[in-house]
Structure 1
Amino acid sequence: MAVAGAQPRAPWASKAEESRGRLFPEPDAGSRSAFRRDADRIIHSSAFRRLAYKTQVFSYHEGDHFRTRLTHTLEVVQVARSIARALGLDEDLAEALALAHDLGHPPFAHAGERVLDACMAAYGGFDHNAQSLRVVTRLENRYPDFDGLNLSWETLEGIVKHNGPLTGPLPHAIEVHAERQDLWLWSWPGAEAQVAAIADDIAYDVHDLDDGLRAGLFDIEEFASLPLVGDIIADIRARWPEIDRSRFIHEIGRRVITALIEDVVAETSRRAALTQPTSAEAVRHSGAALVGLSPRLVAAERAIKAFLFPRMYRHPRVMAEMNAAGEVVRDLFHRYMDDTGALPPEWRASVAGRTEGARARRIADFIAGQTDRYALAEHRRLLGSAPVPRADAPVRQGSA
C-alpha cells in the first residue's frame, strides 16, 4: 500500500482553526497555524536543545553513530508526519507532539528516571511524561507574559494522554496542571496524539535494533526468525547476496519502518471506515484507540520488543553503565537536598524558604533538565568522580 502524498483532510482530523485555544490568549500568528506555532516554539526551547546530550540507550561517549534523545525525537517526527500525511491528519500537530514527547526525560534514559522517581517517592514521584507537561507549562521561561510555552489545548492534551486516557492516580505535574486547565484526562486523545505515540514505538524498535547491531550486542542471525523482520532479512539476502553489513543493517531498518507505517495507515483506515468518526471530538469519545497496528503486526512488534529486552536493555554492558549512571542521579539528588548551596545561584534562590516537598520538586526539575555530560560534570565537581564505566571491548560502529 502506498502512503506517499498528502490526502484530503480527514473529517476526524484536528483543525487548528477550531482549537480550544491557549491558557493565556494570544493574537493569531498570521501565516502560521496554531499547531505550527506550537511546533516552532518547542524546537526553539532550551529543553529541546538539551536532548542532544541525553541518552537514548548508549551514553554520548560511546560513539557518534548511536541515537541520542534528540535524534530519536527527530526520527519519531518523521514517522509521525508520514502517518499523519497519509491519513489526512494535521501534520503540524503530529509534529509538535512528536517533538515534545521526551522533553521531560532526565539524563541517562530510563535508568535516570527510575532513580529520580525513587528519590521523589515521598514527594509525589517523578514521571517523564508528566515532566514534559511541566516543562512546556512552567519551566521554560522565554516570554514576558507567562511561564512555559503557552501551547494550544490540543498539544497539551496530546502530551499528557499520548498513551491513552488517565484514569488512575495522576502524576504530580499533571494533577497540579489539572487544577488550572481541563485537558479531558478521561478521554482518548485526538488522532494526531495517537499517531505520535505509535510513531515513538516504531522509531525506537527499529533504531534500537540498528544501534544494538552496530554496538555488537547481537547479530543479524539472532533475530532472523522474528516475524516480519525474518521475511525482510530473507528477501534482502535473496536480492543482494553479497551486500555489506552496514548496508544490510540499514536496509533492514528501512523496510521494517516502511512496513509498520503502511500497516498503521491501513489498519487505522479500516477502523475509521467501520466507526465513521465525523470529528476530532468523536475520536476522543470513541472508547478505544483509532490509530493502531493490525493484529499480525502487533504480534511482530511485540516480538521485536521481546527480543530487545534481554539482549539490549538488560545486556550486562548496558546495565553496568545504567546502574552507574543511576548512582550519579541519586548522589546529585541527595547532595542538593542536603546542601542547597551546591545549586547554581538561580536554582538556589528558587528553593529558598520552600517546604521540603516543594524543594525536592525543584531539585527534581533541575536534575531532569540536565544533560548526561552536565550531570557527570556536576558529580565530579561535588563528589570528585563520575562513575560511568566503558565497555570492555571496543564498540563496533559501522558506517554512518
Structure 2
Amino acid sequence: MTPGARLSAAIGLLDEILAGAPAERALSRWARASRFAGSKDRAAIRDLVFEGLRRRRSLGWLGGGDTGRAIVLAGQATEAADLDMLFTGQGYDPAPVTPEERDLLGRSISEAPTSVQLDLPDFLLPEFQSSLGGDFADVLREMQSRAPVDLRVNTLKSNRNAAMVVLARDGVAAEPVATLETALRVVENPRLVNASRAYTQGMVELQDVSSQIAAAFAGARPGMTVLDYCAGGGGKTLALASDMKGQGRLMAWDINPRRMKDLPDRARRAGAEIEILDSSSRAALGPVCDIVFVDAPCSGTGAWRRQPEGKWALVPERLEAFGPLQQTVLAEASVFVRPGGRLVYATCSLLKRENEDQVARFLSERPDWRLEEERRLTPLDGGDGFYMARLVAPEA
C-alpha cells in the first residue's frame, strides 16, 4: 500500500470507530477484507488509528472536526509531513487539502480550550485537577503518546538476563526496567514478542510495569494462601504465582468466568498452579486467605494510552456507577481475609474518587481494619496509571 492509501484506510476506520464500532473489531474486520495489505501496512494503519484516538480532540480541533479525515490530516501536519504528496486525490490517496483546512491547520493548539489541548472530555477536567493537583496537565500530555511495551520475567522458569538473551535471539531487544527486577521494556521489534521462544515457552509475559508493581505490592510469598478476586485474564494472577514460587495455594475468581477462559493455558505455559474457583467454591471458602487481591472494576483512566477509545466512552453516569460497585467488591472480598491478613485494593484509575476515597469509605465502615500502605503511579513514572492500597484485617 502507498502511504496515501494507508491514510485513507485509517480515515475510514476512524470514521467507523467514531460512529460506535469497537476499535479492535473494526481493525480485524478491515484486515480480513483487505488481504492485499501486508503486515507492515496493517501495523502502520493500526498505529494511525490509535494515535488518532489518543489525540482525538486536539487533532480534530486542528483539522476542523470530529472526523477521521480531520484527525488524520492534523496528525500528519503535526508530524511535518508533506501533505501535498500524501493528500493527492489520485489512486487511493485522500482528497487534496482544501484552503479552509490549511487555514485551520495554521492555528496553534494553545488557542484551544484546556480540555481540548489535553485530549480530555470536558466533564473530567476538574476530576483530574482535584485528583492529581499540579501534575494533572503533565500526566495528560504523557497519555497523548503511545504506551511502552513491557514484559514480566516469569521467575518460575527464567531470570531477567536469560530472558533477554532468548528474546534477542528471536530479534526482540529488551532492556531492564530499574523500578522492578522482573520487568523488561521492549526497545526493538515489539511485534515479534508473541512469536518468540521466550514468550511461547513461558519465560516472559506481556504486562505493563505498573501492573507488575501492583501485583508485587500485594506481598505474596511462598506458602501463603492467596485469592485473586477479580482475576480477569489472569495477568496479575500469574505474577502472584511467580512471587509464590510454586508454593502455597493460589486461587482465581471473576464474576464473569469467561474472562478467565485463557487462564488455564496461560498457567500451564508459565508452569503455575492456579485453582480457578466457581461461585459455589468461592462461597464455601471462608476467611482463610493471607492475601485477597482486588483489581477492582474502574474507569480505566490510567490505561488510556493502551485503550484510548475508553476515554471517549466514559460518561458521567458510567463514572458514577463505579463507586457503588467498588464498595460492593471490597466488602465481598474482605470476607475471605483471615484475621491479620491483607486485603489489597488496586485500580488502573487516576481518579481520587475511585482510589483514596474508596479506601477511606471502607475504613470508615470498618474501623477495626487499618491502612498499612498505599501508593499511586502515573504515566510519569513510566507505566500505566495505577493505585494500590494494602489493608490489614483485625486479629481474632
Flag whether TM exceeds 0.5 (same fold).
no
Which protein is richer in helix relative to its size?
1
Which protein is richer in strand relative to its size?
2
Please say which structure displays the higher CA radius of gyration. Answer: 2
Using CA pairs under 8 Å that are at least 6 residues apart, name the structure with larger relative contact order, 1 or 2: 1
With the shorter chain as reference, the TM-score category is under 0.3
